[in-house]
Amino acid sequence: MGKGKIRNNIRRLRFDHGEMTQKQLAEKVGASRQTIVAIEKAKYAPSLELAFSIAHAFGKPIQEVFSYEPDE
Amino acid sequence: MSYHQKNVAVSLCSGLIVLTLYSIIVIRLYYDGRFDGPGAHWLVGWSPFAMFTGGIALTIVLHILSTIYRTVRKQEEEPFITDERDKMIELKGLRFSFFAFCIFFLAVMGALALNLMGPYTVLLFVVGGLYVAGISGEIVKLVLYRRDA
């Protein structure tokens, strides 16, 4: 089974939410700013709990924030 | 650099300092023939206690100094948050340390089996190996923090 990639729209959603900073989002979801940076750059795949927290912070369903791209 | 990265860097510095001092002292004692005399078992037995006590004290001092420096320089307190990514990096560092120590331990035991080293020298290497493994784990943590940032 190949490893897929988890993409996200966090950057756009932050922009849509009054240019919310990474620090503000980190404080909302109880993570560090560095973790938000890593998730935004798709270098770190968050746990289901953190992914739901981020989606909840934007008031969106999780599928609008994260998407999964399986390897070919 | 985040709070955790700075902590890892401080631990790495203290580990390197302690390991260097330990190596210098042990090599000097070895060449003085202190590990062949009657008090050799006492010296070998006390070496890990001295090393770990010194290491803990140095780490505490370096942490205090780095915290003072950061507070004075930035004039703000950084939030102390340990999230899932920090825990994952911590675990990966620990796992690497464990494997590094296992390889080191097997290599040293191999040297003992082949009669390349005496038992006291092997014990000293094992004690040093604990610190080498710890340092390698800190390096892995630092690399993981830098790579994902």
- Put simply, the answer to whether B81 touches A47 (Cβ < 8 Å) is no
What does the pLDDT look like over B50-90, one tens digit per residue? 888 988 999 899 989 988 888 887 765 666 778 888 999 99
Tell whether A72 is covered by a domain. Answer: no
Tell whether A10 is covered by a domain. Answer: yes
Q: What is the ipTM of this complex?
A: 0.78
* A49 contact residues in B (CB cutoff 8 A): 84
How many folded domains does chain A comprise?
1
What does the pLDDT look like over B24-50, one tens digit per residue? 998 898 888 888 878 888 888 888 888
- Put simply, the answer to whether B83 touches A37 (Cβ < 8 Å) is no
Rounded to the nearest 10 degrees, what angle do helices B84-113 and B119-148 cross at?
150
How many folded domains does chain B comprise?
1
Give pLDDT, residue B67: 84
> Which residue range forms the structural domain that includes residue B137?
3-148
Tell whether A68 is covered by a domain. Answer: no
Tell whether A27 is covered by a domain. Answer: yes
CATH at residue A47:
1.10.260.40
A55: burial class by Cβ within 10 Å (0-12, 13-18, 19+)? buried
> Which residue range forms the structural domain that includes residue A17?
5-61
Please name the member of A37, A41, A50 whose beta carbon is closest to the beta carbon of B84.
A50
A8: confidence class by pLDDT, cuts 50, 70, 90: very high
> Which of A6, A23, A28, A34 best probes binding to B when mutated, by most B CB atoms within 10 angstroms?
A34
- Put simply, the answer to whether A38 touches B86 (Cβ < 8 Å) is no
Handedness of CA B95, B101, B103, B109 (dihedral sign): negative
How distant, in Å, are the alpha carbons of A32, B69, B108 from that of B10?
A: 19, 12, 29
Please name the member of A26, A37, A47 whose beta carbon is closest to the beta carbon of B149.
A37
